[in-house]
Structure formats: C-alpha cells, structure tokens
Chains A and B, each alone.
Chain A
Amino acid sequence: MKQSLFLRSSMKKTKAKKAAPLIQTIDLSKSYFNEELETSVLYDINLTIEEGEFVSIMGPSGSGKSTLMHILGFLDQPTNGKYLFRGEETRSMTDDELAAIRATRVSFVFQAFNLLPRTTVLENVILPLLYHPSIPTKERTERAMHAIESVGLQDRAYFHTNQLSGGQQQRVAIARSLVTEPDVIFADEPTGNLDSASGTQVMEVLQGLHRQGGRTIILVTHEEDMAAHARRIIHLLDGRVSSDTTKFKQVYATPHNKLKK
C-alpha cells in the first residue's frame, strides 16, 4: 500500500473509481512543548480538500494557518488526530518517507522566495529534480525549461536570480514548484514581499495553473483581497476553523486589475 504513494500512474487509475479525497484531516491538532509548558496551536481541524481545488487558508497572524500548511505539506507532523493523503495515514512515516513525499507529491512557494543566490534561474528550477536521481540530466533541463516557459521567463533562464525583480523571482519559485509535477502546490503568503502589481501578476500565474493546468493550489494568506482569488476560503481563528465557504464569484487577477493600481 505504501508503494502506491510513490507511483503516480497507479494513483491516477484509482482516482477514476471514486477515489479518497486528496487531503483529509480528522480531529487534527498540534501543540508545541517548551520545557513543561504546552502551547496548543491547532485544535480539532477537520478538513477535506479534493484534487483540483484552489483553496485559501486565511487568518490573522497567530491563527495557526502556517502550522496547518506545514503539516499538510509534510514539513511538520500533527500531535494528535489523523492526516490522510489520498486516503493514506501519514503519521507513522519515517523521515526518509516524508522526504520522498515532499520530493514527489507536494511543493512550496514561499513568501521570501527562497531561491539560491549566485545561481541561475535554470539551476534553481532544476534543484528539486536533484532529489529525483532517476530522471536523466537531459530530461531535467527540458522539464525545467518547460516550467520556466509556463511562468513566462524563458528569456531569463540564464540570468542569476539576484538580477531579477521580486515578481520575477517569485515566478521562478513557482516554476520550481511545478517542475516535479506535484499533486498540490502550497503557496505561503506568496505576495507578501511584493508590490501589488507584481503580486497580481503572481496571482495570475497561480490562477492560470489552477484553471488551465487543473492544479490543486492551497494559498495561505492574511490578506482578504489575495484570498479572494480562490474559490474556497477557509478561515482560521485561534487554531480552529471559523468558516469554510465556497463562493460562486471568484476574483480574477487580470492585467486590468494590475493597471488599476
């Protein structure tokens, strides 16, 4: 059963006959222990996210939204409750198994971009593929170039990342998150370090990935207007889900919006 986690093709087949949801949490909670002191961050989170959704997780700082994202992204583990990924329990996984899931199933776009300095765009985008030793070198470059094209930076592929604007750097990070063909992309305040024009551009790219590419995207933000780009918004408050709404009206990031600012 564990084997199936690493085989995408077999996954796709099971999806056809009423598959388990992509992400499901059951009474998931998280506490930190500092000396004797227990600090609870998340309480009894019950969430289901299906493949192909674009979800915003919203909340003020301290609401636990980043912690939730870290757990859903396999960067951290819950204290109690269950986290099922495609129906599979993930709590008893070893460090290497979690690393393998991070390498193949999920990817991240961070607020601070987290690109390697003094390194070209292409090398940054290839970076996740270094942890897929079975992919031949030539295919790596092809896949990376393809990902760079999909964020519209093909003419910057051999630039060093520090020669790019903030918006361009975040698009490089998005290309990096695409190159492994993950099941879900986590974007943690992706526009937090950007001016609104670049921010809109980044949202445009993410929306495009969702609408045209059918990708599952989970956006973590505290900004109402950024969250509005998603179809479904989950509000967190003090470590609990306070609301979970799916709207019919979704804000689209367009060049028109960009000009308004």
Chain B
Amino acid sequence: MRIADITHTASKSLTGNRNRSLLTMLGVIIGVASVVLMTSVGASIESLILGQISSIGAKSVVVFPGQVEGAQGVVQAGYDSLTFDDVDAIKNLSTVTNVAPGIMLPVDYATYGREKTEPRVIGTVPDYFKNREVTVAQGRLLDESDITAVRNVVLLGSEIADNLFGAQNPIGERVKLGTRSYQVIGVLESVGTQFFQNADEMVFIPLSTARAQSSQKYANMITMQTSVDFGFAQKDIETLLRKRHGINNPLGDPDKDDFIVRTAAQANDILGSVSLGLTLFITTIAGISLVVGGIGIMNIMLVSVTERTREIGLRKALGARRKDIMLQFLAEAVALTMLAGIIGVVCGFGLSVFIASVVSKFLDTYQFALSLPAMFLALGMALAVGLGFGMYPARKAALLPPISALRYE
C-alpha cells in the first residue's frame, strides 16, 4: 500500500466513526493539555520568582555566617561567627562598597490595635536598602540620623503593612514589636523573594536600636556591593575572614569556613534548579495522564480490530500483506494521537492564557509564560503513545488468519 492510500484509509475510518474517535482522543487531549498547562504555569511561577530576584542585580554580595555542605548544600543556621569588628574590617576592603550588616531579632508578633502578624524583624543601616534595590511606597527609608539617635522607628514590608493596616495610612502610627513600641516611618514597595526570603514579610528598625535592645553581638548577614568581578571580591573577603577567624584553609574548602559568601546570581541558580525539579515533577504527573490516555487508545483500537475482523479478512483475501494491515491500524492510532496532541496543545495554551489572566488579577507580577520545548515534548509523547499503544492492536489485526476473519460474525 502506498502512503497516500494508508492515510486516506485511516482518515476515512476515523471520520466514519466520529464520536468514537473523539472519545478515544479525549484521554490524550487531556494528557497533552495538562503537560502544556503545567509547564506553562511552572514557567510563569519560575519567572515570577526569578524575575524578582534578578532585579537585585549581580553586583549584590552577601556574607552569611554558617557552613556549606557540598557544592550548593545546606546553610547551617545558628552560627555566631560574624562580629561587628569583622564588618568594620570588610568596610576597609577596596573591592567592596556599601557594606551594611543586619541582625535578626527574635520577635514573635507585630501588633497594631487588634491586628497581629508574624514579621521577620531586621536591624540594619540605610545602605542595606541600596544593596537590595528596595524603595519606599510611602513615607521614607531609614536614614543616618535614625541610627545615631537610636530611634524607635520601623519600616514595614508591604505584606506586613497590609496585614496590620489594610487600606489605612500607617505612617506615623505606632506598632508593637514584641513588647516595645515603634513609630512607622515608611512602607516598602513589594519586592518578593530575595536570597530565599520573602522581603515583603520583613520589618526594619535601625541597627543601633536593635543592638541596644538585644544582647546579640553577631551579625546575621553582611550585605554589600562589588564594583569588580565577584571572584576577586570573594577572594578578598575569604582571605580577610579566614585570617581574622584563625581558619587555615589555603585550598578554599567551604566545609572548613564558618561563613558563606554569596551573590544574587548564585542564589538565582539554586532557585532555578529548584524550579527545574518542580517542572520535572509536574511534567511527570502530566506524562502519566498521557500514558493513561494511551491505554484508552489501545483499548478502543482493540475493540476496533475485533469489530472489523471481517474487513481485515476481506483485505487479506484481496491480497493485503501483514505489513499492509499493520500499517493501516498503526496509521489510525498515530493519526488519532497526533490530532489529539494538536487539540491538546491548543486547549492547554488556551487554559494557560485563561489562568494567567485570572491569577494576574490577584498577583500583578504573574505573567503568562509558555514553554515551547514542553509543547513539542507533549506532541512527541503523544506520537510515542500512538505508536506504542497502537502496536499491539495493529499486530493483532495483522496476524488474523484470513478465513477466520472472513467467517467472523
């Protein structure tokens, strides 16, 4: 049989039984649509996270206390290793500018009247906001005078402000952090996740105020910017801190250090690999639904082979070889799945656009994104499903003996 004849025969048989063809395709349509939808949502979420983090810029460097296990392993919390003398020493390095330490205060609740929320309280200096490229939506940032005067003032992250004040103007109001009372001087623009933490859930008080109220002698982070290549700055900082901490680590083994130097770019890489894992996970689940769809195709093809036993017998009596019958049924299965694949891609695309338009009403930064490779992957999987699950019924049809096929009632 010629290719043109095979496709003609397949299309005729499929259109002859339109309802059944549609029902058969449904499984694959749903499978392909969910692959496209899931990967699109995954890509949107990824760009949501990465889009915000990348706004920090690659020049931003942070030194954390702690230790690395393996290449990009676990940061061990609870390290008290970075003193404020270390901070002053780093300030003297020529490769970095805007050195701004921060400490975290163990405060459970922020309250305003009856409203209550759980913030992360950070004591820091004005340069911190430059390093993180954060600006105020209302009021003002912390300034040098807040530090020198040790004022009880607070700058709220957008979510905290929203939780405590709603539509009310918070500027000038007093908020309690734990038992102490602070005056609100400003609210930050929403920024999302930076260095693995949601900056919108943070509140900021002057570093001097924070140090006066807690016995904490160590910094929880030191933010800064580097004007030169990150590698040089990192080396400078590492050499300095190892000398000051008495660590003998000429080979630069991160397991021996009691601090970690990171850039925003590195943080992006880690988040990127997390999001890749997420995408793979989602795609696997969607892929399973494709396989289920494929089993549906096989099922119906088997029914079709039984139903058309007489036709197969006739074709064999007319001179069809096993190969001809096999190709005919395989062509039907592949045509079904490819058509289903295309419909599925269109449906998945439409659904992703719809979901993006709904979600972006609640989350302005959510944007429609589409993974082109995933679309081709889904189509390729549909084709593989058609070939794989069409093979058995097609073989069964091809091996029918011609007379028993003709006699079949």
A residues within 8 A CB of B73?
none
Shortest Cβ gap from B310 to chain A (Å): 7
Cross-chain contact of B319 among A100, A110, A118, A119 (Cβ < 8 A): A100
| Contacting pair B403 A99 (CB below 8 A) | no
Give min CB distance, B92 to chain A, whole Å: 86
For A76, the chain B residues whose CB sits under 8 A away are 401-403
Complex-state Cα separation, A40 to B157, whole angstroms: 93
- Contact indicator A96/B1 (Cβ below 8 Å): no
Chain B residue at smallest Cβ distance from A71: B403
CA distance A104 to B319 in the complex (A): 8
Q: Which of B379-409 contact A (CB under 8 A)?
A: 401-403, 406
Q: How many residues of B contact A (CB 8 A)?
A: 24
Residues 102 to 126 of chain A near chain B (Cβ within 8 Å): 102-104, 107-108, 110, 114, 116, 118-119
CB-contact partner of A102 in B1, B310, B311, B317, under 8 A: B317
The prevalent SS among residues of B at the interface is helix
| In the bound complex, CA of A133 to CA of B403 (Å) | 24
Contact B310 A114 (CB under 8 A): yes
Q: Which of A73, A103, A104, A133 contacts B2 (CB 8 A)?
A: A133
* Contact, CB under 8 Å: B1 / A131: yes
CB distance from B13 to the nearest CB of A (A): 10
Interface residues of B in 289-321 (CB under 8 A from A): 310-311, 313-321
Tell yes or no: B16 within 8 A of A by CB.
yes
Q: Does B5 sit at the interface, judged by CB under 8 A?
A: yes
Q: Is A157 an interface residue (CB 8 A)?
A: no
Given the known interface contacts A75-B402, A102-B319, the answer about A133 and B311 at a Cβ–Cβ threshold of 8 Å is no
Chain B residues near A110: list those with CB within 8 A.
406
Is residue A128 within 8 Å, beta carbon to beta carbon, of the partner chain?
Answer: yes
Taking the nearest CB of chain A, how far is it from the CB of B112, in angstroms?
A: 76
Taking the nearest CB of chain B, how far is it from the CB of A115, in angstroms? 9
Do the beta carbons of B319 and A95 come within 8 Å of each other? no
A116 to B320, CA, bound (A): 15
A residues near B, CB below 8 A?
70, 73, 75-76, 95-96, 99-100, 102-104, 107-108, 110, 114, 116, 118-119, 127-128, 130-133, 176, 180
What are 25 A-B interface contacts by the 8 Å CB criterion? Answer: A73-B317, A75-B316, A75-B317, A75-B403, A75-B406, A76-B402, A76-B403, A100-B321, A102-B316, A102-B317, A102-B402, A103-B320, A108-B317, A114-B310, A114-B313, A114-B406, A116-B311, A116-B314, A118-B16, A127-B315, A127-B318, A130-B1, A131-B320, A131-B324, A132-B319
Closest 9 interchain pairs by CB?
A103-B319, A131-B319, A128-B318, A99-B321, A102-B319, A114-B314, A75-B402, A130-B5, A75-B403
Question: A76-B403, A108-B318, A131-B318 provided; 6 other pairs, C-beta below 8 A?
Answer: A75-B317, A110-B406, A131-B324, A132-B319, A133-B1, A133-B2
